[in-house]
Amino acid sequence: MYKNFIFDVYGTLVDIHTNEYDLSTWQKLVNTLSFYDVNYTAEELKETYFMSCDLQMRLGQKNFKHPEVDVVEISKHIFENKGKKATKTLATHLAQEFRAFSTERLRVYPDVTETLKQLKRAHKKLFILSNAQRCYTKPELEKLGLLKYFSGVIYSSDYGCAKPDTKLFDIACEKFKINKQESIYIGNDPKTDVDGAKASKIDCLWIKSNLTDYDAKPKFSPKYTVENGDFKEIARLLLKK
């Protein structure tokens, strides 16, 4: 019987749609930056942002097979590119502004909250391990009422590496003293979640949601598969194990 349930966030617990490519989104951020005498056009700001992402990824490849960016550092670069300096607080605020401007849908999937309550009532320990930016995801989990169910959270942005990198799974297990043999990872992505967990020697439940890439196939077979995003099936399958 599993004692530890480790969850992905987006596409698993949370249904989200963002648009980081619409120039109107970037124009809103341009307007915010103008209050700090940091002047860009929407096209220039968009190009600067993605060039900074690419640079961080290239630098991260020196240490990790699957590096992760930190959007707070990217926000600092946006200021520095115009000869300005931003504190971490200001850079975090800018990153969160961009997230707010680019988010078109953010909601908890059906039956997620009740299933988490059911697992807690069964005295299971719940954790999150997600490819996510702390400055976005922590407030979103709080806003959606989910954070309170979890004993610990690993945000990939804090460590510079992302799933399916086994190092991120190992970090979570070491930090939270998780026994892999007593644990199961639950996620919607065939590569980052299924293959990442299996390569890390953790059982995986693959829940297929509207954000799952159905054309991509995992290299490894998951222990369990749940179709059509039926979150209630998680408790039905795993609480009797």
Average pLDDT across each block of 10 residues of the chain; the chain has 241 residues. List them in order.
96 97 96 98 98 97 96 98 97 98 98 97 97 98 98 98 97 97 98 98 98 94 95 90 55
State residue 236's pLDDT score. 92
State residue 241's pLDDT score. 55
State residue 1's pLDDT score. 84
Cβ-based neighbours of 21, under 8 Å, separated by 6 or more: 46
Matching residue, tokens 């971490």: 88
State residue 32's pLDDT score. 97
The DSSP call for residue 109 is P
State residue 132's pLDDT score. 98
- Where helices occur in 103-163 by DSSP H, the ranges are 112-121, 134-143
Instruction: Please give the model's pTM, rounded to 2 decimal places.
Output: 0.96
Altogether, the residues listed in the chain come to a count of 241
**184, amino acid identity:** I
